[in-house]
Amino acid sequence: MSLIKQLLKLYQQGYKIKTMAKGLGISKNTVKSYIVKIQQNQWDPKHLIELENPVLEAKFHAGNPAYKDGRYDQLKDQLDDLVKELKKRGVTKYLLWEEYRQQYPKGYSRSQFCFHLSQHMRAGKPSMVLLHKPGEKLYMDFAGDKMHYTDPLSGEQIWCEVFVCCMPYSDYGFALAIPTQKSDDLIYALRACLQHLGGVPQVLVPDNMKTAVAKASRYEPDINQILQDFADHYGTAVLPARVRKPKDKALVENHVNLIYTRVYAKLRNEKFFSLTELNMAIQEKMREHNQTRMQEKPYSREEKFLAEEKALLSALPAKPFELKCYLQCTVRTNNHVKLGEDRHYYSVPYQYIGKKVKIIYTKSMVWIYCSGQQIAVHTRQRGPGQYTSQRDHLCSQHQHYLDRSPAYYLQRASSRSYQMYQLFEYIFKQGKYPEQLYNTCDGILNLYKKADQSKVNKACQMAIDHQNYSYKFILNILQNNMLEQEPKEVEKKTPNHPNIRGQSYFDQL
């Protein structure tokens, strides 16, 4: 029973003020003040005893009289404007109080003014208790302070970023030192974290770091493409915390502070000579941290995680994630695109010359897209200044140029006539530079398209008979209509032979 109800029962039974004060252990003036308030308001003691304690106490203690002061009525309408002014550069509470006293000389003192202003600011920012589901989210952030190891050769201190994650339901933590905050290091650390957890949560909650969020927005932030690819591969989603709202990820912020005490401080006097050694020490301290009993709870973070969260995580993918990089460029006139990182060129179909294309590449493959359609796939090559081409990407003229060879031309000639095939055989037996012979064959094939085919075959036979295998000789026959003339017998020279008798032999007879 509350002290007030005891006093009311004694007052109802007719005890005197001195007896009530002595029995309740309070002063006579206090007892007298309660009785005066009952009599002034004509309250029924029996009715008061039936009230709940908070309601009863409110009747006798109406609250802080400061809020009933007329000065508060003058100030309360200005509080919202004062809070806005306080956010401006150089504006302080003392400056606002001076301006307030100039307007109201009999207003609040500085301490009371600052008290009411602080109360208004605190009441305007209520804090919400977030209830987390097991296995739902993974908070991730970078610690503000770095750690380092020593280069064994130069003695130089190599500073590293510390990647921190925690599962908010169990507060189970993970930390890893990585060289930088760049995308490839972030993905490596995040992949190591999921391997350590043994599963994938439903949502990844990063800070608004550039490697995670390309463009921050309260409602629809643009996720960095590499992180989005990682999330798609692992079957999870990315939901960044709001900009400048650290309470959205208060648990991981608190985890960073705990790591300063349970990892940084404990390793401050130890020396490490590689990143691997540093991470082994961090993992050992994090294991101790996760196995430590939590305050006001009969279990550790690891026990809570293993008992209620791990089984709810999604399975890890069978194939490891390959980091994808993105590039946009224009197809060159030689129907190739340049992968600037390797200074290597890859072919696309010649129809896309001059168009904008998107290149997606990993350590092993290169994909090329145009207007949302895949137009080429190549195995990634590292040779700078070299070209990787597919024959079907070239136009017919370029394909013809690549196909040129004696066998190619002989095959084309055989499909046209026997005379042309014989002529091409004699052409390639001349032993001239191949490019000259290919051009001669192209010219003869072109004549076969334009002129009468039977005449071309006769001209080829005449070229064989006269042992003149040039394109100009055949063209001259066709232009001058020499096919209508009777062919003259070709004089054949007598070959040199030691048994042949000359003119001097017959002069002796």
Whole-angstrom distance, CA of residue 165 vs CA of residue 256: 9
- Topology annotation, domain 137-312: Nucleotidyltransferase; domain 5 (3.30.420)
Would you state the structure tokens that stand for residue 37, as one six-digit string? 């308030």
Region at 133 (left for phi over 0; alpha for psi -120 to 50; beta for the rest): beta
Q: What is the pLDDT of residue 278?
A: 94
The shares of helix, strand and coil residues in the chain, as percent rounded to the nearest 5, are 50, 15, 35
Q: What is the pLDDT of residue 398?
A: 58
Q: Among candidates 427, 448, 451, which has minimal Cα distance to 439?
A: 427
Look up residue 487 and give its DSSP letter: P
pTM flag (> 0.75):
no
Question: Crossing angle, helix 453-465 and helix 471-479, to 10 degrees?
Answer: 120
Do 143 and 257 contact (CB within 8 A), yes or no?
no
> With a cut of 70, which residues of the chain have pLDDT below it?
1, 62-68, 124-130, 214-222, 242-251, 395-403, 433-435, 484-509
Q: In this predicted model, what pLDDT tens digit does every residue of 91-127 receive, in sequence order?
A: 999 999 999 999 999 889 999 899 888 888 877 665 5
Whole-angstrom distance, CA of residue 155 vs CA of residue 149: 9
Whole-angstrom distance, CA of residue 328 vs CA of residue 371: 12
Helices vs strands, H then E, count in the chain: 21, 15
Cα torsion angle, 189, 193, 194, 200, sign: negative
**Which amino acid type is present at position 193?**
C
Q: What is the pLDDT of residue 376?
A: 93
Q: What is the pLDDT of residue 473?
A: 87
DSSP string of 14-55, one letter each residue? T--HHHHHHHHTS-HHHHHHHHHHHHHHT--HHHHHHS-HHH
Do 136 and 202 contact (CB within 8 A), yes or no?
yes
Instruction: Extract long-range pairs of 387-396: CB within 8 Å, 24+ residues apart.
Output: 387/336, 387/344, 387/345, 387/346, 387/347, 388/344, 388/345, 388/346, 388/347, 389/336, 389/346, 389/347, 390/347, 392/349, 393/335, 393/347, 393/348, 393/349, 393/350, 394/335, 394/347, 394/350, 395/335, 395/350
Whole-angstrom distance, CA of residue 276 vs CA of residue 296: 35
- Tally Cβ neighbours within 10 Å of residue 190: 24
Would you state the structure tokens that stand for residue 345, as one six-digit string? 């060129």
Q: Which sequence spans correspond to the domains of the chain?
A: 3-62, 66-123, 137-312, 325-396, 404-484
Using CB atoms within 10 A of its CB, is residue 78 exposed (0-12), middle (13-18) or buried (19+)?
Answer: middle
Whole-angstrom distance, CA of residue 64 vs CA of residue 111: 16
> What is the rounded average pLDDT for all residues in the chain?
83
User: What is the separation of C-alpha 479 from the centre of its chain, rounded to a whole number of angstroms?
Assistant: 70
Residues present in the chain in total: 509
Q: What is the pLDDT of residue 246?
A: 55
Residue with tokens 């994808």: 324
